[in-house]
Amino acid sequence: MRKTRLELKVGLFVAVGLILLAVLMIQFSKGKSLFSQTYAITMNTQNVGGLKNGANVLLAGVTVGNVRGIDLGQAGTNVLIRLEILERYVIYGDAKFVIEQSGFLGDQYVAVIPTANAAPPLKDGDEVFGEAPFNLQEVARDAAGFLQRIDRTARDLNEALAVVRKVMLNEQTLSNLADTAVSLRESSAEARVTIGNVNSLVESNREVIGRAVSNLVVFSEGLNDFAGSANALIDTNTPAINDSIQDIRDSAASLKKLLQKTEGGDNLAAALLSDDELATQVSLIASNLSVTSSNLNSKGLWGILWKPKQPKPGKSDSTFEPLRSPGDPFR
């Protein structure tokens, strides 16, 4: 009986020792001891991925703590991860927190990437924001959707090419295209010949063309000089031109007034125009004045004052015609 109880005590002691040894080995393998001082940081992220409780926290590749709790946020749209950091390691507030993975199929861990270390150090109870881990399944789904879109685009492209081949690459279209190419080749050959002819014409008439261009330049210079002279003449005679224009305006105004008085019948011109007999007398006087001026030109003043003998009956002198007027006393 005593031997059995002794063996039970020994077995229990060995079991407790093994358990303690395992706990110590786990603690020492994570760089912590039973007497290590730590401070807690809460990391807020969108997705925890495959991160497990107890995962390592690495600062620049060095283990500085562990994950001690993973919980869903109150709104249900984020995840709160409690990080326990050894007190001897200082993490600044501008550091980046990322959930990464060891290798392709390794365990996930929290990577702390220091930047400029310009922000104050993090203290116990501070909250930081972390980036979501790389989700291979989500990437695979996106890639599958992308491949489906590529496949659908390829089908649409094949259908479009089939329509183009059917509509545009038929025998008639190819024949027309060949005819167009032949016509284009012939047109280019004719254009080449025409250009050669033009070049030869220009070469043969280079001297004439040069003289024509020189004459055109001289003519343009003459036009410029004429324009300058005309401008100078106009500038010089501007006062006289203005006076002439003013005289024309004054004459037009006077003529207008004269016509108005004539139409009103209050002057000699109106009386002449209104009295037919007086108008006839004026006309006759004008005729006599014309004859007198003609006689003055042909006979002179003495020929008019000297009265020749009267011709015999049956004869007439056509060289002189005396003045005639109604009621002439000398007739």
Q: Is the pTM of this model over 0.75?
A: no
**3 state SS for the chain:** CHHHHHHHHHHHHHHHHHHHHHHHHHHHHCCCCCCCCEEEEEEEECCCCCCCCCCEEEECCEEEEEEEEEEECCCCCCEEEEEEEECCCCCECCCEEEEEECCCCCCEEEEEECCCCCCCECCCCEEEEEECCCCHHHHHHHHHHHHHHHHHHHHHHHHHHHHHHHHCCCHHHHHHHHHHHHHHHHHHHHHHHHHHHHHHHHHHCHHHHHHHHHHHHHHHHHHHHHHHHHHHHHHHCHHHHHHHHHHHHHHHHHHHHHHHHHHHCCCHHHHHHHCHHHHHHHHHHHHHHHHHHHHHHHCHHHHHHCCCCCCCCCCCCCCCCCCCCCCCCCC
Give the mean model confidence (pLDDT) for residues 300-325.
49
> Residue 320: which pLDDT band, with cuts at 50, 70 and 90?
very low
Residue 22, SS3 per DSSP: helix
Give the mean model confidence (pLDDT) for residues 233-250.
80
Whole-number pLDDT of residue 325: 46
Whole-number pLDDT of residue 323: 45
pLDDT exceeds cutoff 50 at 326:
no
Through-space distance between the first and last CA atoms of the chain, rounded to whole angstroms: 206
Whole-number pLDDT of residue 210: 84
As given in the structure block, the two tokens for residue 6 are 């002794």
Handedness of CA 17, 20, 26, 30 (dihedral sign): negative
Give the mean model confidence (pLDDT) for residues 96-112.
82
Domain positions in the chain are: 28-134, 276-305
Whole-number pLDDT of residue 275: 61
Whole-number pLDDT of residue 308: 54
pLDDT exceeds cutoff 50 at 292:
yes
The chain-wide mean pLDDT, for the chain, equals: 76
pLDDT exceeds cutoff 80 at 269:
no
What are 121-142's pLDDT values in tens digits? 888 888 888 887 766 666 677 7
> Residue 244: which pLDDT band, with cuts at 50, 70 and 90?
confident
Give the mean model confidence (pLDDT) for residues 183-190.
88
Percent of the chain at pLDDT above 90?
0
- Residues in a beta bridge with 58: 63, 111
